[in-house]
Amino acid sequence: MSSLVEQTAAELLRRLQASEVSATEVASAFLDRIASHDEKIGAFLSVWREQALERAADVDRRRAAGKPVGLLAGLPVAVKDVFCTRGELTTCASKMLEHFRPPYDATVVEKIEAADGIILGKTNMDEFAMGGSTENSAYRPTHNPWDNERVPGGSSGGAAAAVAAQMAPLSVGTDTGGSIRQPAAFCGTVGLKPTYGRVSRRGLVAFASSLDQAGPLARTAEDAALLLEVIAGHDPLDSTSANAPAARYSQTVSQPLEKLRIGIVREHLGAGLDAEIAAAVEEAIRVWKDLGAEIQEISLPHNEYAIATYYIIAPCEASSNLARYDGVHYGYRTDETKMLAQLAAERKAAEVNPARLEEIDTPLVRMYRQSRSEGFGAEVKRRVMLGAYALSAGYYDAYYLKALKVRRLIRQDFDQAFAKVDVIMGPTTPTPAYRLGEKVADPLASYLGDTYTVSANLAGICSLSTPCGFTQSGLPIGLQLQAPALEEDRLLRAAHMYQTATDWHLRRI
């Protein structure tokens, strides 16, 4: 039998329920794996070894006493460091929140712990979830487990790498424009972005409030279904939460879909797509045909504007959300002694020119300026400035308001497509994982990596990435499936069907 860390969450759950293995043994195996492998991967920002073992022991005691345990029954889970965790560091991979310990748990965290999931720690990410490589972390980059010289994707790169490197059977990430699905594709895991509102955003540190959504990363669709069942559902404390019942995803995921109609957006298989990824997607189409699916071409005519639309709306919302980090209430604050000394020196030097004195900041303005300048990284500053510009007087109508109108057209394209097909399929990313540092100096090239993923966030639908092959150099390739809003059950069942006919999701590093 394979070691504990090599088994899927579903396999571990069956062994836990049969008392073949204890929650403490499972947690210890993954914690030991983190201790021995994470130095070179960098998937975790904090590891909760003591707390995890205590919670696992509690689950074992209750099970031994014949008391009921939750749906996760002692399964370990890694959580992206963008979710508030009471009394534990929640940094968003930023110096701005380097010492922040929230007074409450995010609803997602509460649900995992209520289901007896064992949280192993908090995973690395791009700062404030802004980026697609996890190189924008203020602490250290995360490396792709398949090739340590390459990125794992982002912003949920740590969450995807933790699963791919067998340091956690399950993890929770967030997806604003592809931040679950793109790292899932780069790391060879399953990543699901649920419908906007399907999973509570309470306690999720906001990047772009109308786009952010939490979701699972796992090895299989079956595993993702299990975790989604735990974290999904209406939350009265979140005004954006969808008041719609969530399905028993873990019970229905293995049920095949009859007469499945799959739509292929041919524009997604044209210019700009890596040849090996195109070939893998074409092979996936053949597999679906063998499974009895009906394949038809569809059109999403406004998808070509999705990147431009996203990179107006998301920075605008980021600029608004990050305005609260001012060095006053909480978060990073500049060294005021040095700041005041610097101001005094500037004023003394300018005494010969009274007009120059008027240009020098007041202490309050300088404190705001330096706290934000020192606390935020380059990518966060870039997006805040882009958003502030697009929202400024004279540009709001030309940029932000127009982007909202195009967003509605993108949603209409999906509505029309889903009147003809059940699922839309295509590549998750235009290229496989690229080398660390390759796109740092060219942000636009990095942004274009979201070409196939951002439209699902703009439309508010659900979308999933599953492994569908490997390049000749051994890098994973992701296949994206998209379904209408609140149809996660259909999406997971379709992915499971594909996985019963292929073994890409079973490959291990």
Q: Is 85 exposed, middle or buried (0-12, 13-18, 19+ CB in 10 A)?
A: buried
Reference 468, options 288, 318, 224, 294; nearest CA is 288
Angle between the N-to-C axes of helices 221-231 and 107-114, in degrees from 0 to 180, rounded to the nearest 10: 110
Beta-bridge partner residues of 262: 295, 423
Q: Give residues with Cβ within 8 angstroms of 441, minimum separation 6.
A: none
Do residues 218 and 227 make contact, with C-beta atoms less than 8 angstroms apart? yes
| From 22, 80, 156, 250, the catalytic residue | 80
Alpha-carbon gap, residue 46 to 125, rounded angstroms: 12
Catalytic-role residue among 137, 155, 455, 465: 155
- Number of helical H runs and strand E runs in the chain: 18, 11
Q: Please give the structure tokens belonging to residue 293.
A: 């699916």
Reduced to 3 states, what is the DSSP secondary structure of residue 19? Answer: coil
In the annotation, is 179 catalytic? yes
Q: Tell me whether residue 155 is one of the annotated catalytic residues.
A: yes
Catalytic residue among 133, 156, 179, 446: 179
| Rounded-to-integer distance, Cα 297 and Cα 265, Å | 6
Give the integer Cα–Cα distance in Å for 251 and 228.
12
> Would you give the DSSP letter of residue 53?
H
Cα 485 to chain centroid, rounded: 18
Question: In whole angstroms, what is the distance from residue 426 CA to residue 341 CA?
Answer: 58
Between CA 357 and CA 163 the distance in angstroms is 56
What is residue 199's DSSP assignment? B
> Measured in Å, how far apart are the chain's first and last C-alpha atoms?
18
CA quadruple 370, 376, 378, 383: dihedral positive or negative? negative
- CA dist 42 and 29 (Å) reads 18
Query: What is the three-class DSSP state of 375?
Result: helix
Return the active site residues.
Answer: 80, 155, 179
